Amino acid sequence: MTPQSNPPAYRVWALDDSMYGPVAAEVLRDWVRDERILPHTWIFCETTRRWRQAAQMAELRVLFAGNGDLEADIVIDPRMKPAILRRIRALGELSDDDLAEVVRYGELIQLPAFQTIMRANSASDAVYFIIDGQVRQRIMVRQREVLIAVKEAGASFGYISLFDGGPHITDAVSDSPVTLFRVPTARLRELCNARPEIGVPLLFSLGRSLAGRIRSDDRHLYELVALNQGRN
């Protein structure tokens, strides 16, 4: 009698940073239909011992067909050279060897213009670094767009939630065709634990960017308060 092979089992790194599984492929399909699994959700196959994003899996790709929210050409490119990442300000202080290690923890994503990359109030699952193109961050107030920031090549976004675990504050939309280096939050934490000599400088760099934004916002608030007091 020929022994029967067990069907593949999967584990899911969910939006709440918890691991679920092992579950069968049919359960994964049900979770996609229930929107518990999104295109960028990371899934581990116990048969191949590999992590992949849901939209890259043959078992699930058809379920995301026609999803207009994020029509990305997702490419995990092992040929991506450290020199490309050096364009990103948050990574500029790392050595070539360190950058080569960072490449292993993220992926290259190419998007056309006018694509929503992340939404306000959605759970944060990744930090984005802009290699090429332009991204605008916005909030919607009474169905009208309020521009918060325009990010160019070399900038990063989506990292505030890395520090407090909260949801995204703004939408992020590509204003032009963009190339992004996307690092899932779980993978970035893994990098910090496994290679603190790389992860700590990266976190400090993102922290400096965040501190600069806070100082700028505080300065604008001070100017508004001073202006209002001058009118009284």
- Which amino acid, 75? V
Most confident of 39-53, 95-109, 218-232: 95-109
Protein fold of 68-232: Jelly Rolls (2.60.120)
The pLDDT of residue 114 is 92
Which pLDDT tens digit goes with each residue over 179-204?
899 888 888 888 888 889 998 889 88
Most confident of 19-23, 43-47, 103-107: 19-23
Name 156's Cβ contacts closer than 8 Å, sequence gap at least 6: 88, 89, 90, 127, 128, 129, 130, 206, 209
Task: Give the residue, 222 or 183, on which the prediction is more confident.
Answer: 183
Q: Which of 126-140, 191-205, 216-230 has the lowest mean pLDDT?
A: 216-230
Other C-beta atoms lying within 10 Å of the C-beta of residue 232? 4
Q: Is the pLDDT of residue 166 over 70?
A: yes
Sign of the alpha-carbon torsion through 77, 127, 184, 53: negative
Which pLDDT tens digit goes with each residue over 71-124?
444 444 544 677 778 889 898 888 888 888 888 888 888 888 999 999 999 888
Q: Is the pLDDT of residue 228 over 90?
A: no
The pLDDT of residue 2 is 42
Count, in order, helices (H) and strands (E) of the chain.
Answer: 7, 13
| Angstrom distance (rounded) from CA 128 to CA 134 | 12
The pLDDT of residue 67 is 52
The predicted model scores a pTM of 0.62
Domain definitions of the chain by residue range? 1-67, 68-232
- pLDDT confidence band for 230 (50 / 70 / 90): low
The pLDDT of residue 232 is 62
3-state secondary structure of 88: coil
From the options 3.30.70, 3.30.1490, 1.25.10, 1.10.3470, give the CATH code of 1-67.
Answer: 3.30.1490
In whole angstroms, how far apart are CA 144 and each of 119, 148, 170, 194?
15, 13, 13, 44
Residue listed under structure tokens 């990442």: 85
